[in-house]
């Protein structure tokens, strides 16, 4: 039995027209606030006046997939991404980037996209150009502050507050565009719930998974955030005279054991996110 699926994409005008022309024979009466609607086999596709296109049905991914790997060419746009949340050592870095059509050419010239698919040497080279040329906001939360905040705030709430603050800061530098994208890490309702009580909340955000390869602004943000993470890790290696492994696997455990041997378990919070299971494994031995 097929599972009903819903996929929402922020297609530009050319993509929308391409999609409609491919299946115009399936056109039906559009619902309120919609430009058009297509009732295809095992999927209903609705294009809303807001620019969002919603694919609903068991075969939603089949119809949406040709557009899920295309870079969205709607400008200006702003995008944000975070780095370091899956690493036992090092900071959490969040960056928001403003991208005009002119900025898009700069991003393309550096080859910047999802930092997880780039070599760190290429990230370092591209980020220097991006940080000089693009309007951006970068937040770096190192381990001592992260551990203090995490004592009463979960990780998704921390990320939501950082993304929001990055856009608040970006807003002080440039007028935020109509298209603001976050590489989705939590449902939209949860995201805004985490922001309850914040002095200023940026709304009208488009949430989409795997956004780094579809929105140049998000891809550039991921590269700048990764670069910031690498710079802090470099500084940690130098300060403590040892190498801190990335990720949270066995190599990170080995780095933690070496650190504890050299500096003691009570200082682990200076370099690591203590709520990770690595801490328990290290301190038990």
DSSP character string of the chain:
-PPPEEEEE---HHHHHHHHHHSGGGEEPPPTTEEEEEEETTEEEEEETTS-EEEEETTHHHHHHHHHTSPP--SSEEEEEEE-TT-SBS-EEEEEEEE-HHHHHHHHHHT---GGGS-HHHHHHHHHHHHHHS-EEEEEE-HHHHHHHHTTS-HHHHHHHHHHHHHHHHHTTS---SEEEEE-SS-HHHHHHHTTT-S-----EEEETTGGGT-HHHHHHHHHHHHHHHHHHHHHHHHHTSPPPSSSSHHHHHHHHHHHHHH-GGGGGGTB-TTSHHHHHHHH-
Q: Domain residue spans in the chain?
A: 5-68, 77-235
User: What integer pLDDT is reported at residue 72 of this predicted model?
Assistant: 58
* Residue-wise pLDDT tens digits, 2-20: 445 777 777 778 788 889 9
Higher per-residue pLDDT: 173 or 117:
173
Q: In terms of CATH, what superfamily is 77-235? A: Ribonuclease H-like superfamily/Ribonuclease H (3.30.420.10)
pLDDT on residue 116: 82
Q: What is the pLDDT of residues 209-263, one digit of tens each?
A: 888 888 999 999 999 999 999 999 999 999 999 999 999 999 999 999 999 999 9
Write down the pLDDT at residue 6: 78
Regarding pTM above 0.75, the answer is: yes
Q: What is the pLDDT of residue 232?
A: 98
Note the pLDDT tens digit of each residue in 67-123.
765 555 688 999 999 999 999 999 999 999 999 989 998 998 888 887 888 899 999
Give the pLDDT confidence of 21-38 residue by residue, as tens digits: 999 999 999 999 999 999
Superfamily of domain 5-68: TATA-Binding Protein (3.30.310.10)
Task: Give percent of the chain above pLDDT 70.
Answer: 96
């Amino acid at each position: 039995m097929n599972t009903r699926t819903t996929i929402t994409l922020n297609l530009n005008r050319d993509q929308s027209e391409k999609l409609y022309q491919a299946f115009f024979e399936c056109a039906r009466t559009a619902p309120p606030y919609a430009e058009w609607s297509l009732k295809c086999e095992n999927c209903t596709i609705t294009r809303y006046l807001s620019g969002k296109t919603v694919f609903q049905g068991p075969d939603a991914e089949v119809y949406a997939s040709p557009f899920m790997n295309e870079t969205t060419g709607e400008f200006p746009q702003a995008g944000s991404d975070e780095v370091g949340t899956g690493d036992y050592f090092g900071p959490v870095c969040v960056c928001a980037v403003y991208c005009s059509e002119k900025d898009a050419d700069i991003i393309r010239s550096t080859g910047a996209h999802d930092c997880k698919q780039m070599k760190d040497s290429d990230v370092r080279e591209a980020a220097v150009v991006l940080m000089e040329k693009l309007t951006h906001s970068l937040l770096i939360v190192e381990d001592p502050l992260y551990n203090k905040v995490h004592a009463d705030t979960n990780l998704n709430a921390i990320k939501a507050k950082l993304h929001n603050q990055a856009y608040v800061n970006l807003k002080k530098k440039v007028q935020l565009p109509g298209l603001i994208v976050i590489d989705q890490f939590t449902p939209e309702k949860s995201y805004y719930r985490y922001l309850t009580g914040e002095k200023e909340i940026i709304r009208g955000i488009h949430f989409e998974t795997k956004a780094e390869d579809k929105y140049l602004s998000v891809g550039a943000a991921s590269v700048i955030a990764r670069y910031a993470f690498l710079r802090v890790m470099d500084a940690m290696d130098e300060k403590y005279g040892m190498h801190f492994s990335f990720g949270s696997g066995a190599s990170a455990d080995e780095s933690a054991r070496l650190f504890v041997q050299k500096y003691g378990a009570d200082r682990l919070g200076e370099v690591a996110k203590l709520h990770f299971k690595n801490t328990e494994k290290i301190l038990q031995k």
